[in-house]
Amino acid sequence: MNERIIEMAKQCGYWSGETIEMNDVGIAKFAELIVKECMRMCEVAQVGYLTHGLEKEASGAYSVKQYIEEYLGVES
């Protein structure tokens, strides 16, 4: 399991030291879904910026999505 997801579980009080107490699959999937939604919103912003000819902003949105993907280890 990704270390960032484990860290989030610790912050929520779901981590017992070796496992996630609240339905391991459920909480990990929940965290993954939140991350994927954030990445999707970056994609939406990128398209919106491109539609309005804002290349620099579109590039920024893409960069944020890539950073989230690499930092949290979740693929879109």
Give the residue carrying structure tokens 């902003």. 57
Which range marks the domain in which residue 18 is found? 3-72
Query: What average pLDDT does the structure give for the chain?
Result: 85
Predicted TM-score (pTM) of the model is 0.69
The residues, ordered by sequence, that sit 6+ positions from 49 with a Cβ below 8 Å of its Cβ are 55, 57, 58, 61
Long-range CB pairs of 26-29, under 8 A, 24+ apart, other chains included: 28/1
Cβ atoms 39, 69 nearer than 8 A: yes
Q: What does the pLDDT look like over 30-54, one tens digit per residue? A: 788 889 889 999 999 999 999 999 9
Quote the crossing angle between the two packed helices 55-72 and 3-12, to the nearest 10°.
80
Instruction: Say how many domains are in the chain.
Output: 1
